[in-house]
Amino acid sequence: MRRNVVVSVLALALTVFMGVSVAAAGEVEVLHWWTSGGEARSVAVLKDLLEKEGHTWKDFAVAGGGGDTAMTVLRSRAVAGNPPTAAQVKGPQIQQWGDEGVLADLSGVAKAEKWDEILPKVVADVMKYKGKYVAVPVNVHRINWMWVNPEVFRKAGAKVPNTWAEFEEAAGKIRAAGFIPVAFGGQDWQESTVFESIVIGVGGADFYRKAMVQADPAALSSPTMVKAFERLRSIKKYTDKNAPGRDWNLATAMVIKGEAGMQFMGDWAKGEFTAAGKTPGVDYLALPFPETSEYFLFNVDSFIMFKQKDKGARDAQDAMARLILQPKFQEVFNINKGSIPVRLGMARGPFDEPAQRSMSDFVATAASGGLVPSMAHEMAVFPEIRGAIFDVVTNFYNSDMSPAEAAKKLAAEVKAAR
């Protein structure tokens, strides 16, 4: 495979900078899709830390909310034999790249940094290929969040919902008061983000695993899935006519501005509230999606590393992997990003109330069995199955297809995609 990075070997002797030994400085070309304001600031933290150790960062940012565009670019680069040094890839796709035999073995840095001790097993297992680390996790996002403007609820005389019945009641009051109940972005990944939160709320963690992780036909076509589609349909009447095609951050802005009462979105939405100078618990509330407080749908961002022949490039890769899981980066990055550290045992003081709640729930659900991977955010199934689910969900949401027909179609389309 042709190497795509230009590596500059600065010295053969060891140099020590800030207490870190660097054998040879190299350049890493990093493909990622963190291009929004808060995301860009977050990735800049890693770039700065790496450059302080003498390495060079070549940014390869590809815009596109869920990373689909970035994956298309990565595949084209890999087919041409010219992949970047590191790429933002996650979930089952890590195994697919492992099958290609192109990933670097990170066992050395993983053992030295005791990754097996500082990472939850459910996360560590995703980062390994045939028992060896080939990827490094960066953070944990919780998907099943509800973002609330409390002032809109007060003006409408509505109660912040914990159950689905309470949601329906609150949404009706908010609409009657002249506000938009649910800020919504009509894009397939956003529709499926909401849908998977509904699925786990309706069916519980075991049903979610059968349907959204194992893609079991009986679960996909079950009465429980029909009920999930019914709830997704009921949300639509509480959105506005301009929702189709709306980006997620613009929907978040509707809640921030007091135009809408709530939004269902992962915790990256918090970065928009922070950027707007809003205070959690005062200007906005962050609560679990109705009927999902005992569950944690997780999305873990991670980087795979491609094999490098040059020692400088390998050293730069190892430095990047090591820095990602060190406490300093875990704290600063996740505060900026709105996510929580993937490293266990981090001090919680620097984090705000929503993050502290998320950190507690992450540990609790890992113990209870309520910690499950997000289908919508590429943690649960292979891309072909995810694409089939997306197609059915978005076709249902944007048509008059019945919930029963949607469940039947879901099972058929997923079976065809296997």
- pLDDT at residue 1 is higher than 50: no
Same domain (yes/no): 92, 229 = no
> Which of 36-45, 169-178, 375-384 shows the lowest mean pLDDT across its residues?
36-45
Give residue 34's pLDDT.
84
Contact at 8 Å (CB) between 157 and 218? no
User: Which residue, among 278, 252, 289, 320, has the nearest Cα to 113 in the 3D structure?
Assistant: 320
Question: Is residue 3 assigned to a domain?
Answer: no
Same domain (yes/no): 305, 272 = no
Please compute the mean of the pLDDT values over residues 145-172 and round it to a whole number: 98
320-335, pLDDT tens digit by residue? 999 999 999 999 989 8
Please compute the mean of the pLDDT values over residues 133-143 and round it to a whole number: 97
Please compute the mean of the pLDDT values over residues 52-66 and round it to a whole number: 85
CATH code (residue 413): 3.40.190.10
First vs last C-alpha separation in the chain: 30
Domain, as residue range, for 151: 145-298+367-417
* Cα separation, 331 vs 400, whole angstroms: 46
* Cα separation, 169 vs 167, whole angstroms: 5
Question: Is residue 362 assigned to a domain?
Answer: no
- Lookup: tokens for 335: 């505060």
Question: Is residue 384 assigned to a domain?
Answer: yes
Same domain (yes/no): 39, 167 = no
Three-class SS state of 136: strand
Give residue 64's pLDDT.
66
337-378, pLDDT tens digit by residue? 889 999 999 999 999 999 999 999 998 998 899 999 999 999
Beta bridge partners of 298: 142, 373
H-type alpha helices, 241-399: 248-256, 270-275, 311-324, 327-337, 353-368, 383-397
Question: Is residue 247 assigned to a domain?
Answer: yes
Same domain (yes/no): 345, 410 = no
Kindly indicate the confidence band of residue 22, based on its pLDDT and cuts at 50, 70 and 90: very low
Question: Where do we find the tokens 């977050």?
Answer: 42
User: Which residue, among 326, 365, 327, 329, has the nearest Cα to 347 in the 3D structure?
Assistant: 327
115-129, pLDDT tens digit by residue? 999 998 889 999 999
Give residue 19's pLDDT.
37
61-118, pLDDT tens digit by residue? 887 655 778 888 898 888 888 889 999 999 999 999 999 999 999 999 999 999 999 9
Kindly indicate the confidence band of residue 147, based on its pLDDT and cuts at 50, 70 and 90: very high
The mean pLDDT value of the chain amounts to 91
Question: Is residue 6 assigned to a domain?
Answer: no
Same domain (yes/no): 350, 390 = no
* Cα separation, 401 vs 324, whole angstroms: 45
Same domain (yes/no): 50, 162 = no
Give residue 215's pLDDT.
97
Give residue 25's pLDDT.
82
pTM of the model: 0.84
Question: Is residue 80 assigned to a domain?
Answer: yes
Give residue 415's pLDDT.
96
- Lookup: tokens for 297: 């749908």
Same domain (yes/no): 289, 309 = no
Question: Is residue 98 assigned to a domain?
Answer: yes
> Which of 183-192, 202-211, 238-247, 265-274 shows the lowest mean pLDDT across its residues?
265-274
- Which residues, in sequence order, are CB contacts of 376 under 8 Å at separation 6+? 143, 189, 192, 193, 195, 196, 386, 390
Same domain (yes/no): 150, 235 = yes
Give residue 325's pLDDT.
97
Domains identified in the chain, total number: 2
Please compute the mean of the pLDDT values over residues 255-275 and round it to a whole number: 94
Same domain (yes/no): 123, 267 = no
Kindly indicate the confidence band of residue 296, based on its pLDDT and cuts at 50, 70 and 90: very high
Contact at 8 Å (CB) between 305 and 135? yes
H-type alpha helices, 20-163: 37-52, 68-79, 93-99, 107-112, 115-118, 121-124, 150-156
Same domain (yes/no): 184, 267 = yes
- Lookup: tokens for 89: 């890839």
Same domain (yes/no): 192, 93 = no
Question: Is residue 194 assigned to a domain?
Answer: yes
Same domain (yes/no): 288, 408 = yes
- Lookup: tokens for 410: 């879901």
H-type alpha helices, 325-382: 327-337, 353-368
Specify the long-range contacts of residues 323-332, CB closer than 8 Å, at least 24 apart.
323/46, 323/49, 323/50, 323/53, 324/46, 324/136, 324/137, 324/138, 325/113, 325/115, 325/118, 325/119, 325/136, 325/137, 326/113, 328/49, 329/45, 329/46, 329/49, 330/139, 332/45
| Between 392 and 68, the higher pLDDT residue | 392
